[in-house]
Chain A
Amino acid sequence: MADRADVWQGTLALMVLKTLEAMGPLHGYGIARRIEQTSGDLLAINYGTLYPSLLKLEQEGYIESEWGVSDNNRKAKFYRLTSAGRQQVHEETREWERTTAILERFLSPREQS
């Protein structure tokens, strides 16, 4: 169970980082909605699971947080990518692409060439 959660945490972390890279500083709710939209509503996550992920990324130094005011004037905590985070996005992306490429070969084998 812990393993699956870890994998999910890892994936989620990359989604969060990627979202922040694309959108700039954003609060938790915004990140959650954005991930949901991007995944084309295929991914129905509990928004609650996002917060421990955010905390972990912050502890690892990839993101920073700051209180601010949202579009519709609500006080909210905004997360922003740090430079270490930006680097991490690239590494993780490359890593992810490699993994998926490998997996793809397994999952949909093409004709022998």
Chain B
Amino acid sequence: MMKRVRVWLRRLAGLVHGQRRDRELADELDAHLQMHIDDNLRSGMALDQARRHALLKLGGIEQTKERYRDRRGVPWLDTAFKDVGFALRLMARSPGFTAVVLCTLAIGIGANTVMFSVVNTVLLRPLPYADSARLLFIDKVNVTRRQGELTSPPDFYAYRAKNRTLDHLDAFYTRPFNLTGGQDPERVPTLIVSPGFFSTLGIPPALGRGFVSDDEQWGSHRVTILSDGLWRRRFGADSAIVGRRLTINGEPYVVVGVLPPKFSFFGIDAQMFVPMAFAPDDNLNSHSNYFLRMIGRLKPGVTRAQAATDLNRLSDAIIAEQHVNTGTAIDVGPLRDALVKDVRQAVLVLLGAVAFVLLIACANLANLLLARGAVRRREVAVRLAIGATRARLVRQFLTESVLLSVAGGAAGLALAYVAVDALNLLSQRVLPRSEDVHVDPAVLVFTLGVAAVTGILCGLVPAMHSVATEVADDLKDGTRAASDGKGRHRLRAALVVAEVALSLVLLVGAGLMVKSVYRLLHVDAGFETDRVVTMQINLPPEKYVDLELDRRLSPLAYERSVRFFGDVLDRVRSIPGVRAAGAINGLPLMGEIWGKNIVFYDRPLPADMNGLSPIQYRVVAGDYFRALGIRIRSGRAFTDRDTRQAPKVVIVNRELVRRYWNDQDPLGKIVSVNPPLQILPKSVVEEAFRSARIPRDYQPDKFTVVGVADDVLYGGLSRSALPLVYAPYAQASEGTTNMFLTVLTDGEPLAVVGAIREHIRQVDRDQPVASIQTMEARVSASVSQPRVQMNVLGAFAALAILLAAIGIYGVMSYAVTQRTREIGIRMALGAGRREVLNLVLRQGFTMITLGLALGLAGAMLMTRVLRTLLFGVSTTDPSVFAAIVVLLSATAWIATYLPARRATRVDPLVALRDE
């Protein structure tokens, strides 16, 4: 054993000072020969004969040296070093070639590294919570549409108490809370959670304590946990914050803890956390309100399917016993899936696209290496002739290509570092966990692997081709040695065909995305965005709602908030440069925020709640319709005369008229947006009477339809409009205290923001204003995800077409050089420039056409993966396909034409003299 080690050490040592050792061996052999010759002379041979005999007896100087060297070092390592050295010298000798190859690879590998780091963060790396594999997202879904619906508090409490499969079950929802006192009033995005929430996630607070079950008891619920960000920003990272009193929504809360930095949940930008608690008679805690989402933690050894069965058993029991939630079931999925649901497909598509880019880069590289291999045929022939084996040469060629690809990969990694930051900026609002995207060890390994595979993939075929050569032929004729065999040319043509096909697929994908985004931006959303500024005002109910009256469902409860918005809108209207000012509880594109059921009095009442027609509900104040340019199709808009005392009126949208009135004129019809008692389940009504929540003579308000408004896309640009009812804020605020101002101006909309804020401050100096944005910015933000997808895919496609053009140009240039002599002969025999041009073009034409055909077929198959990402465009949209084929053909044509034209400039005399 020891001996082995010593031998290896000496052999490793033999790797260094190779040249000196070589010289020493040469000297030794020289001495050997001399002595032998001396002996031979002494025994009477002639000098010639003596020398020959000695050499013969030795068995060849070079062979001896070769065998000796194999023994001296570690042969394969030694060769590897030599190959690397040789490759480096070769790279340095042709800097142009090297630069092109390195750039191609850096781009290809860099782009892949970036996309992989995104995939790694978003899809692969575990969530930043303890034992996150057991975390669940629990979703109530509509059985027929399988669409997510929300949960009501009574359901949640039942699931939590009675399930047998979960260690924890917690609910959460978000609300902005007003934080006042000390500094400027501030509207803070707040996550309202059941007490176990943080222990379910396994996030201990950095300061103080987490929530405990006492915190959800009404009365002891006024405690809060701050985010690290809010704690630092507003409280200067005060370490004595725990125990401090804050005024939240006008009530005193006590800070009990601060979360660790970097806590994030669902990309929800929550800065404050309060326990979920309901007053004993709070209407929120009933089956009329569905607003909770749930997370859970599986008991060890329990599967998701078991948990789903368990929870559905509870859900079915509630449906059977209480006649609520009909048509819903419970879906249980990994928390991670819920988190990345929207972007998973997009990210995977982009990863596929970027792999295509790398494949094209590989094809280019292989082509370049093939071309160089042809040039080096003489070198190969010589080396084969003096005894190198083919395997040995293949290894050397592979070393060269792997070295290139690893260098390219290193450059790509550097690119990726920069690009990841750029991507973070670009995609912050689009990508969940994008703040975590960075280049980590997994990414490094990925890049290294990709680089190595790339090098071998690109190098192997050219290497095999380079050494598959007839030594004698190549040695015989220097000029002909550089001419291509048929097979080699076909291979290069095949690579170009592949490049064209791959880039066509990418371009079509990008083209579809572009058209989709164009469609989205040009969809008729039903409102104008020009010169409109919007902002959010969230009044604290404690201050603006008479809670006692509200409990008795008295409309007088909202007198103060009605007055507030009336005052503010009056003042804003008086600002010079303001054309119209209104307010609504949910802006267009913000999502369908409030579903209710409509009751028609022009037809018989349905038997129960399930027979009612669903609508979206919005309350508006001031000149909302005029501010957003929403057309009133018939009837009138709301006016200042539609007060609480005036007859109650609503405006409906055209979709509602289409769907529920068969497009008949609805003006004058009577409706309600709350169900009359007779169709509610008896048990619910009795319970409501008992708790005095509803007076015994309760009847829902009846509204007269006074107008029909154009459809507005509230759910988003890609969602069609749902039936919708607008009611005046003064008549039917239905508990709303959170409104968005919409102000139409004469000029730059943001110019009036200062004045608006000042007026609000004059009405209530503690009232914060949030989310100040032009309507244009909101529209733009609503399409940011498709836009980012379009940009990234577009960038990949641009790279693809560029690389493909380079590839075609390279192959054609090379083909022209190869055929110089042939062209010269043809021209000498009388062929015109046009014929020569056609000759070369035809060669390119075949490749390009074949590539386009294959690419089209591929695109037809591949674009299917885009289906869920596209809006208003079919995945085989003919105009996009046609446009892309034209674009790619034109590019390919130019890349072919330039070298072809050079062919016509061949001087026959020069071409033939070359021979």
A contact residues vs B (CB 8 Å cutoff) = 27-30, 32-33, 46-49, 51-52, 55-56, 58-61, 70, 72, 74-77
- Residues on B with C-beta less than 8 A from A47 are 32, 36, 57-59
- Residues on A with C-beta less than 8 A from B31 are 27, 29, 70, 74-77
Asked if residues A52 and B67 are in contact (CB atoms below 8 Å), the reply is yes
Is the CB of B289 closer than 8 A to any CB of chain A?
no
CA distance A46 to B59 in the complex (A): 5
- Residues on B with C-beta less than 8 A from A77 are 24, 27-28, 31
Q: Of B32, B39, B59, B72, which is within 8 A of A55 by CB?
A: B72
- Residues on B with C-beta less than 8 A from A29 are 31-32, 35-36
Asked if residues B68 and A52 are in contact (CB atoms below 8 Å), the reply is yes
Instruction: Pick 12 A–B contacts, CB within 8 A, sort by A.
Output: A28-B28, A29-B32, A29-B36, A46-B57, A48-B63, A48-B67, A52-B71, A55-B68, A60-B6, A76-B28, A77-B24, A77-B31
B476 to chain A, nearest CB (A): 32
Using CB atoms, name the residue of chain B closest to A84.
B3
The 3 closest A-B pairs by CB, nearest first: A46-B59, A48-B64, A48-B59
- Residues on B with C-beta less than 8 A from A49 are 59, 64, 67
Other contacts beyond A29-B32, A47-B32, A49-B67: 19, CB < 8 A: A27-B32, A28-B32, A29-B35, A46-B57, A47-B36, A47-B57, A48-B60, A48-B61, A49-B59, A52-B68, A55-B72, A58-B10, A59-B6, A60-B3, A74-B34, A74-B35, A75-B27, A76-B32, A76-B35
CA distance A59 to B34 in the complex (A): 26
- Residues on B with C-beta less than 8 A from A28 are 28, 32
Asked if residues B57 and A52 are in contact (CB atoms below 8 Å), the reply is no
Using CB atoms, name the residue of chain A closest to B42.
A72
Asked if residues A72 and B38 are in contact (CB atoms below 8 Å), the reply is yes
- Residues on A with C-beta less than 8 A from B29 are 51
CA distance A55 to B24 in the complex (A): 12
CA distance A74 to B35 in the complex (A): 7
Q: Could you tell me which residues of chain B, from 50 to 79, have a CB within 8 Å of some CB in chain A?
A: 57-61, 63-64, 67-68, 70-72
Asked if residues A59 and B35 are in contact (CB atoms below 8 Å), the reply is no
Knowing A72-B35, A72-B38, the reply to whether A51 touches B3 (Cβ < 8 A) is no
- Residues on B with C-beta less than 8 A from A61 are 3, 6
Flag B10-27 by CB within 8 Å of A: 1 or 0 each: 110000000000001101
B34 to chain A, nearest CB (A): 6
B901 to chain A, nearest CB (A): 58
B57 to chain A, nearest CB (A): 5
Is the CB of B90 closer than 8 A to any CB of chain A?
no
Interface size on B, residues (CB 8 A): 29
CA distance A49 to B28 in the complex (A): 14
Flag B467-491 by CB within 8 Å of A: 1 or 0 each: 0000000000000000000000000
A66 to chain B, nearest CB (A): 12
- Residues on A with C-beta less than 8 A from B64 are 48-49, 51
Asked if residues A46 and B58 are in contact (CB atoms below 8 Å), the reply is yes
Knowing A59-B7, A60-B7, A76-B28, the reply to whether A52 touches B70 (Cβ < 8 A) is yes
- Residues on A with C-beta less than 8 A from B38 are 72, 74
Using CB atoms, name the residue of chain A closest to B57.
A47
Q: Of A48, A52, A58, which is within 8 A of B58 by CB?
A: A48
- Residues on A with C-beta less than 8 A from B32 are 27-29, 32, 47, 76
- Residues on B with C-beta less than 8 A from A55 are 68, 71-72
- Residues on B with C-beta less than 8 A from A60 are 3, 6-7
- Residues on B with C-beta less than 8 A from A56 are 71
Using CB atoms, name the residue of chain A closest to B29.
A51
A79 to chain B, nearest CB (A): 10
Q: Could you tell me which residues of chain B, from 348 to 397, have a CB within 8 Å of some CB in chain A?
A: none
CA distance A59 to B74 in the complex (A): 13
CA distance A47 to B67 in the complex (A): 13
Asked if residues A70 and B28 are in contact (CB atoms below 8 Å), the reply is no
CA distance A8 to B60 in the complex (A): 19
- Residues on B with C-beta less than 8 A from A72 are 35, 38
CA distance A61 to B61 in the complex (A): 26
- Residues on B with C-beta less than 8 A from A74 are 31, 34-35, 38
CA distance A86 to B258 in the complex (A): 79
- Residues on A with C-beta less than 8 A from B35 are 27, 29-30, 70, 72, 74, 76
Q: Could you tell me which residues of chain B, from 246 to 274, have a CB within 8 Å of some CB in chain A?
A: none
Using CB atoms, name the residue of chain A closest to B62.
A48
- Residues on A with C-beta less than 8 A from B27 are 75, 77
CA distance A33 to B58 in the complex (A): 11
Asked if residues B11 and A59 are in contact (CB atoms below 8 Å), the reply is yes
CA distance A51 to B6 in the complex (A): 20
- Residues on A with C-beta less than 8 A from B3 are 60-61
Asked if residues B10 and A59 are in contact (CB atoms below 8 Å), the reply is yes
Asked if residues B72 and A51 are in contact (CB atoms below 8 Å), the reply is no
Using CB atoms, name the residue of chain B closest to A9.
B71
A13 to chain B, nearest CB (A): 12
CA distance A27 to B70 in the complex (A): 21
CA distance A113 to B379 in the complex (A): 69
Using CB atoms, name the residue of chain B closest to A36.
B57
- Residues on B with C-beta less than 8 A from A33 are 39
- Residues on B with C-beta less than 8 A from A48 are 58-61, 63-64, 67
- Residues on A with C-beta less than 8 A from B10 are 58-59
Using CB atoms, name the residue of chain B closest to A56.
B71
> Among B7, B32, B67, which residue has the most Cβ atoms of chain A within 10 A?
B32
CA distance A46 to B70 in the complex (A): 17
A90 to chain B, nearest CB (A): 16
- Residues on B with C-beta less than 8 A from A46 are 57-59
> Among A33, A49, A55, A60, which residue has the most Cβ atoms of chain B within 10 A?
A55
B54 to chain A, nearest CB (A): 9
- Residues on A with C-beta less than 8 A from B24 are 77
- Residues on A with C-beta less than 8 A from B68 are 51-52, 55
CA distance A77 to B32 in the complex (A): 9
CA distance A48 to B62 in the complex (A): 10
Using CB atoms, name the residue of chain A closest to B6.
A61
CA distance A46 to B39 in the complex (A): 17
Knowing A28-B32, A29-B31, A46-B57, the reply to whether A51 touches B25 (Cβ < 8 A) is yes
Asked if residues B7 and A51 are in contact (CB atoms below 8 Å), the reply is no
CA distance A32 to B36 in the complex (A): 10
CA distance A56 to B67 in the complex (A): 11
CA distance A108 to B549 in the complex (A): 124
A48 to chain B, nearest CB (A): 4
Using CB atoms, name the residue of chain A closest to B14.
A59
B319 to chain A, nearest CB (A): 79
CA distance A69 to B39 in the complex (A): 16
- Residues on B with C-beta less than 8 A from A75 are 27, 31
CA distance A33 to B72 in the complex (A): 24
Using CB atoms, name the residue of chain A closest to B72.
A55
Q: Could you tell me which residues of chain B, from 93 to 135, have a CB within 8 Å of some CB in chain A?
A: none
- Residues on B with C-beta less than 8 A from A58 are 10
A53 to chain B, nearest CB (A): 8
CA distance A32 to B59 in the complex (A): 13
CA distance A81 to B567 in the complex (A): 111
A76 to chain B, nearest CB (A): 4
